[in-house]
Amino acid sequence: MADSEVIVAVMGATGSGKTTFINLVSGANFVTNDGLRSCTAEVQTSKSFALLGRQVTLIDTPGFDDTTRSDTDILKVIADYLCNAYQNEKKLSGIIYMHRISDFRMGGTSKRNFTMFRKLCGDDTLKNVLIVTNMWGEVSAEVGSAREKELAADDILFKPVLEKGARMLRHDNTLSSAHRILSCLINNRPEVLQIQDEVVNKHKDILQTAAATELARELEEQKRKQREEMDRVRREHEAAVAAQQEATRRALEQERARIAAEEARAHAEYERIQRQQEQARIRAERRAREMQRRLEQEARIAREHEEQRRRLQEEQQRQAAQQAAERERLRRELELARLRQSEDSDDDDFCVVQ
């Protein structure tokens, strides 16, 4: 390796500004991230450029959160590149880890990227590591400084690496800022990264390296969380189904009760009508009997009247006959009396009685 050649790898999450930094300082024209899709799924190397009498080459790496490739694929791509470079006696003078100070908090993706970065580098190369914070224009100076302090003091973030020789620098997206950053690295003694040592010197398969083990652990953890999430969703789903079934059962029960009540009402109405009809029938029968009785009574009275009238008529006829007979008798007696009188006067010519 030529003394003047300096190779610096730039790592960090997708969208942290790696490609922008490399384009700015090297004059490269790599595609930057539009925020929707990551663009650097492969490792790409800038043309070398002169800085402080050295020839600097920057290596752009994809983040471990690519939208098109799995984290294992990304690890293989980066490891292959670094191991090939090492086999070709190209060691890294420095590694830049980019981090957006504008990030509200270090989320799962940022943490995974930083963990993978650590497993790729190992502890021995940390003195060649620069943690570069950018996007300072996106936050107020106070908020940015407070976050910077927090990150530097965080036990699971930057504190352990800073304690082992890494440094933290600000980048304001200007060429002079980029030069200042790189100038901190160009005189470093190139070191072997942990991944290069594992694969090239110790002949490990990439999947047996610390980085791959970490990735597997992360994936296992993710799977566990997903399983828990699935279990939770399943339990919620089952509870919802049970609740729904209970609601349906209750609705059916109410419907059944409503129909039963209607049936009972209809039955009661039917019975009421039957009773009324029966009562009407009894009343009608009673009225018919009463009518019959009255008709019979009237007929009997009529018969009695007829009998009375007949008897009266007979009595009248009998009395008339009796009177006629009496009159006849009296007439005859009178006739007889006249006869007798006339006979008496015949006997006594001179005595006229008038």
Ligand X SMILES: Nc1nc2c(ncn2[C@@H]2O[C@H](COP(=O)(O)OP(=O)(O)O)[C@@H](O)[C@H]2O)c(=O)[nH]1
Binding positions for Mg ion, rule: CB under 5 A: 19, 40
44 near ligand X, rule: CB under 6 A: no
- 27, 107, 108, 137: which one binds ligand X (CB under 6 A): 137
The number of C-alpha atoms within 13 Å of 102 and in the hemisphere containing its C-beta is 11
Query: What does the alpha-carbon distance between residue 96 and residue 185 come to, in Å, rounded to a whole number?
Result: 9
345 near ligand X, rule: CB under 6 A: no
Q: Does residue 183 contact residue 52 with C-beta atoms inside 8 Å?
A: yes
Instruction: Determine the angle formed by the axes of helices 71-87 and 210-347, rounding to 10 degrees.
Output: 170
Can you point out the beta strands (E) in the chain? 5-12, 44-45, 49-51, 54-60, 94-100, 129-134, 167-170
User: What DSSP string runs through 237-291?
Assistant: HHHHHHHHHHHHHHHHHHHHHHHHHHHHHHHHHHHHHHHHHHHHHHHHHHHHHHH
**Phi, psi (5° rounding) for residue 10?**
-115, 120
33 near ligand X, rule: CB under 6 A: yes
18 near ligand X, rule: CB under 6 A: yes
134 near ligand X, rule: CB under 6 A: yes
CB of 8 to Mg ion, least distance (A): 15
Piece of the chain touching ligand X by CB under 6 A; list 1-9, 13-21, 318-326, 331-339: 13-21
**Which residue, 10 or 92, is less far from ligand X as judged by CB?**
10
Alpha-carbon torsion 25, 28, 30, 34, what sign?
positive
Give residue 173's region: left, alpha or beta (phi > 0; psi -120 to 50).
left
Residue 119 contact, options Mg ion, ligand X, none, Cβ 5-8 Å cut-off depending on partner type? none
Piece of the chain touching ligand X by CB under 6 A; list 64-72, 131-139, 146-154, 282-290: 131-139
**Which residue, 91 or 112, is less far from Mg ion as judged by CB?**
112
Spacing of C-alpha 296 from chain mean position: 85
**Which residue, 33 or 115, is less far from Mg ion as judged by CB?**
33
61 near ligand X, rule: CB under 6 A: no
Query: What does the alpha-carbon distance between residue 28 and residue 9 come to, in Å, rounded to a whole number?
Result: 15
Piece of the chain touching ligand X by CB under 6 A; list 10-18, 123-131, 186-194, 326-334: 10-18
Piece of the chain touching ligand X by CB under 6 A; list 31-39, 203-211, 293-301, 311-319: 31-39
**Which residue, 20 or 115, is less far from ligand X as judged by CB?**
20
CB of 68 to ligand X, least distance (A): 13
Residue 177 contact, options Mg ion, ligand X, none, Cβ 5-8 Å cut-off depending on partner type? none
- Structure tokens that stand for 214 in this block: 């970490």
The number of C-alpha atoms within 13 Å of 272 and in the hemisphere containing its C-beta is 6
CB of 32 to Mg ion, least distance (A): 6
129 near ligand X, rule: CB under 6 A: no
Residues pairing with 54 in the sheet: 51
Give the 3-state secondary structure of residue 30: coil
The H or E element that residue 340 is part of is helix 210-347
Piece of the chain touching ligand X by CB under 6 A; list 50-58, 68-76, 133-141, 223-231: 133-141
Binding residues among 151-180 for ligand X as defined by CB under 6 A: 173
Query: What does the alpha-carbon distance between residue 165 and residue 47 come to, in Å, rounded to a whole number?
Result: 29
190 near ligand X, rule: CB under 6 A: no
Within the chain, how many helices (H) and strands (E) appear? 8, 7
40 near ligand X, rule: CB under 6 A: yes
**Which residue, 61 or 128, is less far from Mg ion as judged by CB?**
61
CB of 131 to Mg ion, least distance (A): 18
Closest-by-Cβ residue to ligand X is: 17
144 near ligand X, rule: CB under 6 A: no
Residues that bind ligand X (CB under 6 A): 12, 14-20, 32-33, 38, 40, 134-135, 137-138, 173
